[in-house]
Amino acid sequence: MTKTVVEVVTFKLNPGVSDADYVAASQKTESFIGAMRGFIDRRLSKGEDGTWMDYVVWADMTAAQDASAQFEQAECAADLMQMIDPKTLMMRHEHQMWTMSPAPAMG
């Protein structure tokens, strides 16, 4: 088992918020999150039912929890948070149990 931690945030957007506007607001958080201690990777996806998932990999639980606390106070997060329907917001921190990497190219 690794020490890495996955932060999984699921939510729906408020009515009237476009996908493009939300992605643009998310991109404005790049430098803040990327500079956080323990940041490894971040992905953003949207399901057919309109549920979004923000998936962030951290080096350990302390880094994940520290980042969550700091993000709530970050200036770059204010616009982003106003776009999310708070009734749908759920966040979990999970220990990463396994990772599969792509097979090396043959030839």
User: What's the confidence (pLDDT) of residue 2?
Assistant: 66
Q: Which two tokens stand for residue 77?
A: 């997060």
pTM of the model: 0.90
Contact 32, 76 (CB under 8 A): yes
Residue 59: predicted pLDDT: 98
Residues of the chain with pLDDT under 70: 1-2, 107
φ, ψ at 2 (rounded to 5°): -90, 170
Does the CA dihedral 10-14-49-52 come out positive or negative?
negative
Q: 10 Å Cβ neighbour count for 104?
A: 6
Tell me, what's the pLDDT at 107?
67
- In the chain, the domains with their CATH numbers are 5-95 (3.30.70.100)
Question: What per-residue confidence (pLDDT) applies to 104?
Answer: 84
Give the model's pLDDT for residue 18. Answer: 98
pLDDT at res. 103: 83
Which whole-number Å values give the CA distances from 61 to 36, 57, 89, in the listed order? 13, 10, 20
* Residue 25 Ramachandran class (φ > 0 left, ψ -120 to 50 alpha, else beta): alpha
